[in-house]
């Protein structure tokens, strides 16, 4: 058994270089709706880049120094653009019934990435170390505690919040987005809904 050869065959069957980095696209890929996912992805790139700078220089810098405050603003508006693009992406993929023809794993990986991104957003607000963080920490703890999560995650524990936001959650998001992108490129863009006859739920199977 040659593992390398087996892996080559898996790639040949599922994801060639042309699939991963396509130079041709089906003609129906012809709408702004196809750019929202790319917008969310590039906002994520911007968030990671500005986040690395914020993490490198630390809270005093981004609270007190003009350049630090500007990078803080880049991160803040990056989050707004990220979630706006993501909301449009999910909205349009829903109305395209993009889960058809066996694409539920792609849908699920995207949804899981979205849920983790929501948690990353919460930890980001908590990690700001300003009144917003203070207020959200004491307010959000009640729902977390009521659900039994208080013994695992304490939104008032800055050490836990900061490491989750800066290290753990970005890695999880990048991994899930990676799976999402591989599945997208493996399966190609979903065919347009037929104007009559086809059920939107078909293909989830």
Partner 1 sequence: MSVRSEQTLRGIPTKPYDLLLEGVLVLGLVSVLVVVLAALFGSPDYPTVRASDVARVQPLALVRTAARMLAGQSDLNGYGPPYTTDRAGAQRVLGVAPANWFGVSDPIRPARDLVLAPLQRASALDPSLVAPLKAFEAAGAGQQHAWARAYLKALGKASVSGGRIVVPSGAYGPVPELMNGMLELGRSGLLAGALEASGRQPYALNPTRALLFFQGPVDHAVAGSLNMRGDSWGISHETGPYPGAWWLWPYTFLYQVPPMVHSANGDLQVVVIVLVALVLVPLFLPFVPVLNRIPRWIPVYRWIWRSWYDRGT
Site for partner 1 in 162-181 (CB under 8 A): none
State in angstroms the smallest separation of the CB of 1 from partner 1. Answer: 21
The site map against partner 1 for 72-111 (x = CB under 8 A) is xxxxxxx-xx-x-x-x----x-xxxx-xxx--x--xx--x
How many residues sit in the footprint of partner 1 (CB under 8 A)?
101
Please compute, for residue 160, the number of CA atoms within 13 A of its CA located in the half-sphere on the CB side.
10
Q: Pick out residues in 105-144 that bind partner 1 (CB under 8 A).
A: 107-108, 111-112, 115, 118, 121-122, 125, 128-140, 142-143
Min. distance of Cβ 182 from partner 1 in angstroms?
12
Q: Are 169 and 116 in contact (CB under 8 A)?
A: yes
Least CB distance to partner 1 at residue 184 (A)? 11
User: 1 to 60, contacts with partner 1 by CB under 8 A?
Assistant: 11-16, 18-19, 21-31, 33, 35, 38-39, 41-43, 45-46
Q: How many CB atoms lie within 10 A of CB 156?
A: 14
Alpha carbon of 153 to those of 133, 142, 168, 197: distances in Å?
15, 12, 13, 49
Instruction: Tell the smallest beta-carbon distance from residue 183 to partner 1 (Å).
Output: 11
Task: Rank residues 21 and 56 by Cβ distance to partner 1 and give the closer one.
Answer: 21
Rg (CA), the chain: 20
Pick from 97, 154, 84: nearest CA to 126: 154
Residue 62 or 170 with smaller CB distance to partner 1: 62
Nearest CA among 87, 110, 74 for reference residue 36 = 87
Nearest approach, Cβ of residue 2 and partner 1 (Å) = 20
Q: Which residues contact 88 (CB under 8 A, 6 or more apart)?
A: 33, 36, 39
Degrees, nearest 5: CA angle 62-142-117: 50
Interface residue with partner 1 among 61, 160, 168, 175 (CB under 8 A) is: 160
Nearer to partner 1, 144 or 175 (CB): 144
């Amino acid at each position: 058994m040659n593992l390398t050869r087996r892996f080559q065959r898996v790639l040949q069957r599922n994801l060639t270089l042309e699939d991963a980095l396509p130079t041709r696209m089906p003609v129906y890929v012809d709408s702004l709706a196809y750019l929202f996912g790319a917008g969310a992805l590039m906002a994520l790139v911007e968030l990671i880049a500005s986040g690395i700078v914020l993490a490198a220089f630390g809270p005093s810098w981004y609270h007190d120094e003009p350049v630090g405050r500007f990078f803080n603003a880049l991160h803040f508006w990056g989050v707004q653009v990220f979630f706006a693009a993501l909301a449009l992406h999910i909205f349009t993929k829903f109305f395209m019934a993009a889960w058809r023809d066996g694409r539920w794993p792609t849908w699920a990986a995207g949804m899981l990435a979205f849920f983790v991104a929501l948690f990353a957003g919460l930890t980001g607000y908590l990690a700001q170390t300003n009144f917003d963080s203070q207020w959200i920490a004491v307010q959000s703890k009640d729902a977390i505690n009521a659900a039994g999560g208080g013994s695992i995650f304490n939104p008032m524990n800055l050490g836990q919040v900061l490491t989750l936001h800066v290290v753990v959650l970005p890695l999880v998001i990048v991994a899930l987005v990676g799976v999402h992108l591989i599945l997208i490129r493996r399966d190609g863009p979903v065919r347009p809904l037929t104007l009559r006859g086809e059920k939107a739920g078909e293909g989830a199977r």
